[in-house]
Chains A and B, each alone.
Chain A
């Protein structure tokens, strides 16, 4: 399937126009979307207008960048000016943001063409996209299985050829895990790398925006375009952004940490484990030095995460009061009853569950036992990584302990669903960059290799991932 790099070359040589590219992708979406439901809505008119503008830029030879004229799909949690953006929630049905999120504004300035908004778990809370307030999304490798989540629509769209690339968000694994389950590349940058301005917030100390692509090089190109300081997000970092110059440097002489706990987590499927072990052995043969490292607090990560993330979400989602935006239940006479009825009708089961959990963990009398305790364990987890990275340049593991599971298999068991994130959420708690890329199959379904790097080591994660892609004959 086509990559951003290929398409850019063909656009630059005028072998194809941006308008044709958009039409081709919209045609595929129109024809095949009923099979997967990767999108919540498409934005044909916007995409065609952006493509026409991109074609003018190529014709004039002025300022066309690597993403100019390339179609993209956008997770339904990033505000796009005047385009309905709902975070996969009924409570935001009809919401048309009056402004662009910074990541979207940067893509718009580069000349991207926005195909539409992709399906996701409501407010990005979930690991299967089944918590969407609208409908589930199928996995392109087997539509009766989940694409992962929460950015399942973005992952499925890229894997199924409906978009050359897509943007997603990752709070506990929501880019990397669906990338693994759909067999594409997905990257969560270092916390602070990409501005969160205009991202509908789930857990503000964990959320990061990142790309889904078909190759590691494409991921680097997108990350280069969306990263950097933004005055509108005080947590965005004023740091040099160079994702590309080390990309082809290979792994020879690099020390790769293999965390023994990450290969022994609860529920790890043997086929996933062996595919990842094979991938790690290939990296060693390519010249990497493997170093056994330990992340001793791995078993406590899920527990800490499921206090910190719900606590932040219960605070962030308090803003949905049906006064400033969002659906309102008009049947009540008083403000309080309006809140209760609106939120009862507007939020789905998982969102309500997390708001309850977070409100409980923050409430007087439980704050020390739960929230403060979880924040302290968060410190221990970050220290585990710091110690490990004193001995290695990057850490390699599986992205998800399991391959794509059948739709409906885990919806009634929230804890089993949460366990999908056990290998990814550590990077969010510690603010680290992580990338997932395909490394073979198990039971005929894709397996993801995860590469984690120290904070601000996004380029190192990309470099290791690119080296594996070369070894395995992928990429372009």
Chain B
């Protein structure tokens, strides 16, 4: 549910089986003592690069919205986020 994948009931068992096998392999990471090891999120040393906050050419509203399934008056249309009142 967290991943918004919409699993069907039969699929749950299929994926549970496969993911158990993969996680069993991944569990070998526990063999390693990493208490004193720093984590790596990013391998190449980087510094923030700033630029002047000035307007630059960019996509037009039409370009930015033309791939959307539904657009009205230049805006994305989003479905209701709540159920209708009973």
Residues of A at the B interface (CB closer than 8 Å) are 94-99, 190-192, 205, 231, 234-235, 237, 297, 299-300, 302-304, 306-307, 314, 318, 322-328, 330, 332-336, 338-341, 343-344, 347, 352-353, 355-357, 359-360, 363, 370, 372-380, 382, 414-415, 418, 429-431, 455
On whether A377 and B76 interact (CB within 8 A), knowing A99-B59, A234-B46, the answer reads no
**A334, A356, A374, A418 — which one has the most chain B CB atoms within 10 A of its CB?**
A356
A190 contact set on B, CB distance < 8 A: 44
CB distance from B28 to the nearest CB of A (A): 5
Inter-chain contact A333/B79, CB cutoff 8 Å: yes
Inter-chain contact B19/A353, CB cutoff 8 Å: yes
Partner of B67, one of A96, A192, A370: A96
Inter-chain contact B4/A376, CB cutoff 8 Å: no
Inter-chain contact B22/A306, CB cutoff 8 Å: yes
The contact sample of 25 A-B pairs, CB cut-off 8 A, is A94-B67, A99-B63, A237-B44, A300-B31, A303-B27, A307-B29, A323-B78, A328-B70, A333-B84, A338-B79, A343-B6, A344-B7, A352-B5, A353-B15, A353-B18, A353-B19, A370-B29, A374-B29, A376-B34, A376-B39, A380-B37, A414-B21, A415-B25, A430-B43, A455-B43
On whether A356 and B15 interact (CB within 8 A), knowing A98-B66, A376-B38, the answer reads yes
A334 to B15, CA, bound (A): 26
CB distance from A5 to the nearest CB of B (A): 31
With A322-B69, A323-B76 already in contact, 20 other A-B pairs whose C-beta atoms are closer than 8 Å: A95-B67, A231-B51, A234-B46, A234-B48, A235-B42, A303-B27, A303-B28, A307-B26, A330-B69, A334-B83, A335-B78, A336-B81, A359-B2, A363-B2, A370-B29, A372-B39, A373-B30, A377-B37, A414-B21, A455-B43
A336 to B1, CA, bound (A): 10
Partner of B18, one of A97, A237, A382, A414: A414
On whether A377 and B32 interact (CB within 8 A), knowing A302-B25, A341-B6, A359-B3, the answer reads yes
Inter-chain contact A333/B22, CB cutoff 8 Å: no
On whether A375 and B40 interact (CB within 8 A), knowing A304-B29, A324-B76, A352-B15, the answer reads yes
A353 to B48, CA, bound (A): 34
On whether A431 and B7 interact (CB within 8 A), knowing A302-B25, A376-B37, the answer reads no
CB distance from A424 to the nearest CB of B (A): 15
On whether A431 and B34 interact (CB within 8 A), knowing A332-B79, A415-B21, the answer reads no
Inter-chain contact A192/B44, CB cutoff 8 Å: yes
A372 to B29, CA, bound (A): 11
CB distance from A457 to the nearest CB of B (A): 13
CB distance from A65 to the nearest CB of B (A): 25
On whether A356 and B19 interact (CB within 8 A), knowing A191-B44, A205-B41, the answer reads yes
> What is the total of A-B residue contacts with beta carbons within 8 Å?
160
A205 to B51, CA, bound (A): 23
Size of interface on B: residues with Cβ below 8 Å to A: 52
CB distance from B29 to the nearest CB of A (A): 5
Nearest A residue to B44 by beta-carbon distance? Answer: A192
Inter-chain contact B5/A325, CB cutoff 8 Å: no
Complex A-B, nearest 6 residue pairs according to Cβ-Cβ distance, in ascending order? A340-B6, A431-B43, A344-B6, A375-B39, A325-B67, A376-B34
Inter-chain contact B39/A378, CB cutoff 8 Å: yes
On whether A300 and B44 interact (CB within 8 A), knowing A339-B4, A344-B7, the answer reads no
Nearest A residue to B51 by beta-carbon distance? Answer: A231
B79 contact set on A, CB distance < 8 A: 332-335, 338
CB distance from B3 to the nearest CB of A (A): 4
B67 contact set on A, CB distance < 8 A: 94-98, 324-326
A237 contact set on B, CB distance < 8 A: 44
Inter-chain contact B4/A380, CB cutoff 8 Å: no
CB distance from B34 to the nearest CB of A (A): 4
Determine whether B72 belongs to the interface, using a CB cutoff of 8 Å to chain A: no
CB distance from B1 to the nearest CB of A (A): 9
CB distance from B60 to the nearest CB of A (A): 9
A344 contact set on B, CB distance < 8 A: 5-8
Inter-chain contact B42/A205, CB cutoff 8 Å: yes
On whether A333 and B80 interact (CB within 8 A), knowing A328-B70, A357-B19, the answer reads yes
On whether A429 and B15 interact (CB within 8 A), knowing A98-B64, A334-B83, A376-B37, the answer reads no
A360 to B59, CA, bound (A): 36
Inter-chain contact A303/B29, CB cutoff 8 Å: yes
A374 contact set on B, CB distance < 8 A: 29
CB distance from B41 to the nearest CB of A (A): 6
CB distance from B65 to the nearest CB of A (A): 8
A430 contact set on B, CB distance < 8 A: 43
